Structure 1
């Protein structure tokens, strides 16, 4: 089945520097010195600043913001999911990544989503225990704090515990997302009790408290990551997966997760994907996320053109075509590196990009291009696999991303998720958090690199990115949006670097997402615009219906030492950018 992007990932960008008074005016753009924060959640920004003001570093603040997002944006992210963190360590002048993507339980086989040899219905797969991967978020936070942080769970979880206990005001966006998921949530008693009132979505303006999530955070604060992966909370997770807390006679597929699956979960410290683009060094997330590699390949293709000198429509045509080619290669080759020998060095090769670039027609859009052959550009040419490109699978668009910087110059760019809006729809009884449906990020049938296997991490599109110039942080960018994450990050970089847009304009510009399909995904209102008509002349077609794409956040480190925090000006509600000391 052809699967388009339908999931969300918790994505926020948060940049913070210390020791200045806090300005609280809500705005999506703020410039100053000292701390700077840009997130989709004002309370998450405030949590991070509180930790920094107590002497914590960027890593501590990132965990504080992420934990608070798990309360205020639970349909996108939380401790029931996983993610990818990119960290710039100023003292060492190096970048590392922490992969805490969910893993498949040991019971998984490539046929887990097949019945009678046919793929099961996607939505039924989502709302089930069978879709739940072993959560990695808490283990990822533990590794970040132990290796690079300066505080413990007890300190960094305190702000989120406070928000979960006292509650927060439900926004229009929160209420809208709940309404969209009423059908899924009504299938589970624990979820209905938390987010529905008489079977209907909680209304905007309501104060929503989550004492069970506060309890979960308190246990982690007291016992560390072991509180999640062993003992009562682990048993509650396994029970919820294997015997989903269904309501109203709902029938959903059960999972087969064990306590051993949780106890054996490991995060991975991985080297980042490093590429260059017009004088910038771009550090991205490696496999099992396809984000860093796909963004880098597309930029390598585009580097052969002087985009800023071209008419805008011609340059945007090239952006769409480069993205199409990079997605063809992504779909053919990329998956968990512990299970698949992906030709990464070939895909990142400038010479391979030149070969792919030669396939672009400067005047005409292509359609469903085939994968290239990067093996000729590999250092190791012993790998025989030459898979064929496949249609883009359905991938949830619901996630959150954030970036943090501190006074020492450390930077965190972090994207984490529970996959679809509301994940599997299952709230863990007694603990108040939603479980992911990350296993539906696997291809349901093969042979393909990204088929389900025991212990395997499904391929992701998350693309938290840190850009350096002359050895110093220049900007960060990231977004939610399933496979559209890649195009949002790519397009924002092109807008900023090539078209010279200020970062807020680069973020707020209409988004076009070409993923090697028959039509390009666009946002509402784009179809009849002059921009759309100019691109239609090249043969580009637009997906219907149009939907909002992503919710990006960025930080720009200005040459004069100031910092500009940029959140969304209109998408997903308006973001909140704060600086500790405003520029005048």
Structure 2
């Protein structure tokens, strides 16, 4: 009976209108959106709603997020008119060194490193949300976890997205007894619509409701996590002391002008905020509005839009790859990378007719010689949610366990991350140290890009972010252009065929109109790749006029997401 009720709820929520006047939640699963909205209806803040939604994602979207990973939170407090950035990024264990992913002096393959304990970073999402709740929450902490506890106990239907991922990863999941019991309970992968139960996670969430993040970072669960990380095969270095020592950070957001707006994002250790701002500043010198998609549009307009999106992204990625890492441990020329005069020089590199060969620049206030770059790593285990409450508080929260199902190792009902694979596997390149090399206590570079856009009065007009690893940056850039320059509603913007840079390559979404542009873009000199794009964009647009405030929301059709509003 519970399963039928939940299936009906999924259909109802997915069909909910994405427009409102008071408050809105956009998340990667209808039950996560409902958990968040329940807190708003109870008088909670956007931060309360985010915690409830994040806890529910651990139940319904375990392949992408959960207690065993990290998160970056961008928060707008309307009453104080204050924007804050809360860093719950995972950290490397104290014993980790630059050679963590070397074998016989050569870098390991991605899955050779990612599976097992070697790549598990000290999780930070829960501790960060707890600290943020003390400052910004209103509802009691246990109440926020109640919906997720009930769902983990009674079970939830396996979603259309989760089912094929379980089937694809069944061979790896079955090697871990705890994961096998949850995802292959009768020796077969759970099918779409089957009931996913996770009583161990319910017990962990109850402990967290009672003791807060200490339930995870100290005591028996922490000891079990450390033991699982250190177990064969492919053991890691994390200890219970690493979990106990974890501390989130509150950081200053990075902001920059874009036409009549101000765009704000997350600073290092994320590369997302800086790279998005660089690309958008470059695009500000172009007439993007004239390239808005239209019914029966001429191919040249779409081609030119793809060209500009791709080239601005490639120029920004060149700086990102060289300079950005954990600024607590390596010198990052943050001021120089966002300096208007420097970005004007970078914008002049963009040729509207031909793709260039993007190279990193030499930003002012560099603080030392540039450090070497690294190739990107695959990533499929991230989620994003956007929330606005009735008081005008806003949350953009991106959460991750890195690869799909993380390390494929489960403890206390939660999947552990493989986040350390976001570090460079090579500590040096051409005899120079890589900025994003592994180091004790260091946070690996992220591409997560929670973003809030403000109008001239300093009031939020858009809240957005995405899943997708390195591609997150391009997803967010394209969606910002669609909403700001092309005045698209969020749902149309997040559904656009994806076009974006990933390092020097221009990537086009397979089996869409974007892929049809490949020959013409290659003729202009772009290195092009056509790939599936499982973005997880969730966006809110706030429109104000004489009639009042209207909220519009968008949930990425490539996922199981939903927008709830009232």
TM-score > 0.5 by shorter chain? yes
Query: Which residue in 1 is equivalent to 2:113?
Result: 125
Partners in 1 of 2:518 and 2:565 — Cα distance? 36
Query: Which residue in 2 is equivalent to 1:451?
Result: 437
Partners in 2 of 1:483 and 1:571 — Cα distance? 17
Over 3 Å counting, the alpha-carbon distance change for 1:121 and 1:529 in structure 2 is closer
Query: Which residue in 2 is equivalent to 1:247?
Result: none
Query: Which residue in 2 is equivalent to 1:53?
Result: 41
- Which structure has the higher relative contact order (CA within 8 Å, separation 6+)? 1
Query: Which residue in 1 is equivalent to 2:419?
Result: 438
Aligned counterpart in structure 2 of residue 550 of structure 1, from 535, 548, 557: 535
Contact in 2 for aligned 1:398/1:420 (Cα 8 Å) = yes
The offset of 1:149, in angstroms, is 0.5
2:459 counterpart of 1:475? no
Q: Deviations over 1:323-370 (max 9, x none)?
A: 001001000000001111111111111211111122222211234x22
Contact in 1 for aligned 2:386/2:540 (Cα 8 Å) = yes
Other structure's SS at 1:492 match: helix
Q: Deviations over 1:259-310 (max 9, x none)?
A: 1101110000111011111111111111100100000011111111122235
Alignment of 1:57-68 (within 5 A): 57-68=45-56
Other structure's SS at 1:178 match: helix
Over 3 Å counting, the alpha-carbon distance change for 1:25 and 1:167 in structure 2 is closer
Aligned counterpart in structure 1 of residue 240 of structure 2, from 233, 255, 259: 259
Q: Deviations over 1:37-82 (max 9, x none)?
A: 2222111111111112222111111100000001000010000000
The offset of 1:256, in angstroms, is 1.7
Other structure's SS at 2:408 match: coil
2:64 counterpart of 1:79? no
Query: Which residue in 1 is equivalent to 2:336?
Result: 346
Query: Which residue in 1 is equivalent to 2:473?
Result: 486
The offset of 1:199, in angstroms, is 4.4
Partners in 1 of 2:464 and 2:262 — Cα distance? 13
Partners in 1 of 2:50 and 2:423 — Cα distance? 28
Aligned counterpart in structure 2 of residue 206 of structure 1, from 188, 194, 202: 194
The offset of 1:188, in angstroms, is 1.3
Pick which of 324-333 and 524-533 moved more: 524-533
Contact in 1 for aligned 2:97/2:439 (Cα 8 Å) = yes
Alignment of 1:90-105 (within 5 A): 90-105=78-93
The offset of 1:197, in angstroms, is 4.2
The offset of 1:531, in angstroms, is 4.1
Contact in 2 for aligned 1:29/1:576 (Cα 8 Å) = no
Q: How many residues align?
A: 538
Alignment of 1:46-445 (within 5 A): 46-243=34-231, 252-309=233-290, 311-367=301-357, 369-375=358-364, 378=365, 383-388=367-372, 390-428=373-411, 431-445=412-426
2:495 counterpart of 1:495? no
Query: Which residue in 1 is equivalent to 2:500?
Result: 513
The offset of 1:224, in angstroms, is 1.3
Other structure's SS at 2:20 match: strand
Aligned counterpart in structure 1 of residue 559 of structure 2, from 547, 564, 572: 572
Structure 1 residues not aligned, in runs of 5+: 1-22, 245-251
Contact in 1 for aligned 2:96/2:440 (Cα 8 Å) = yes
Other structure's SS at 1:424 match: coil
Partners in 2 of 1:28 and 1:387 — Cα distance? 49
Partners in 1 of 2:375 and 2:317 — Cα distance? 8
Other structure's SS at 2:303 match: helix
The offset of 1:86, in angstroms, is 0.3
Partners in 2 of 1:288 and 1:82 — Cα distance? 12
Partners in 2 of 1:27 and 1:323 — Cα distance? 34
Other structure's SS at 2:472 match: helix
Other structure's SS at 2:128 match: helix
Contact in 1 for aligned 2:271/2:447 (Cα 8 Å) = yes
Partners in 2 of 1:222 and 1:407 — Cα distance? 29
Over 3 Å counting, the alpha-carbon distance change for 1:444 and 1:528 in structure 2 is closer
Over 3 Å counting, the alpha-carbon distance change for 1:503 and 1:532 in structure 2 is farther
Structure 2 residues not aligned, in runs of 5+: 1-10, 292-300
Q: Deviations over 1:107-138 (max 9, x none)?
A: 10001111221111211110010110101011
Q: Deviations over 1:244-266 (max 9, x none)?
A: 5xxxxxxx211121111011100
The offset of 1:185, in angstroms, is 1.0
CA RMSD, 1 decimal: 1.8
Pick which of 305-314 and 30-39 moved more: 305-314
Partners in 1 of 2:490 and 2:181 — Cα distance? 41
Query: Which residue in 1 is equivalent to 2:8?
Result: none
Contact in 1 for aligned 2:374/2:434 (Cα 8 Å) = no
Contact in 2 for aligned 1:136/1:265 (Cα 8 Å) = yes
Over 3 Å counting, the alpha-carbon distance change for 1:113 and 1:549 in structure 2 is same
Over 3 Å counting, the alpha-carbon distance change for 1:54 and 1:274 in structure 2 is same
Over 3 Å counting, the alpha-carbon distance change for 1:288 and 1:132 in structure 2 is same
Other structure's SS at 1:257 match: coil
The offset of 1:484, in angstroms, is 0.4
Partners in 2 of 1:80 and 1:143 — Cα distance? 17
Partners in 1 of 2:153 and 2:453 — Cα distance? 38
Pick which of 435-444 and 298-307 moved more: 298-307
The offset of 1:25, in angstroms, is 5.0
Other structure's SS at 1:140 match: helix
Q: Deviations over 1:16-42 (max 9, x none)?
A: xxxxxxx95533751122332222211
Partners in 2 of 1:28 and 1:52 — Cα distance? 17
Q: Calculate the TM-score normalised by the size of structure 1.
A: 0.89
Contact in 2 for aligned 1:78/1:434 (Cα 8 Å) = yes
Contact in 2 for aligned 1:29/1:566 (Cα 8 Å) = no
Query: Which residue in 2 is equivalent to 1:12?
Result: none
Query: Which residue in 2 is equivalent to 1:10?
Result: none
The offset of 1:528, in angstroms, is 7.9
Contact in 1 for aligned 2:266/2:272 (Cα 8 Å) = yes
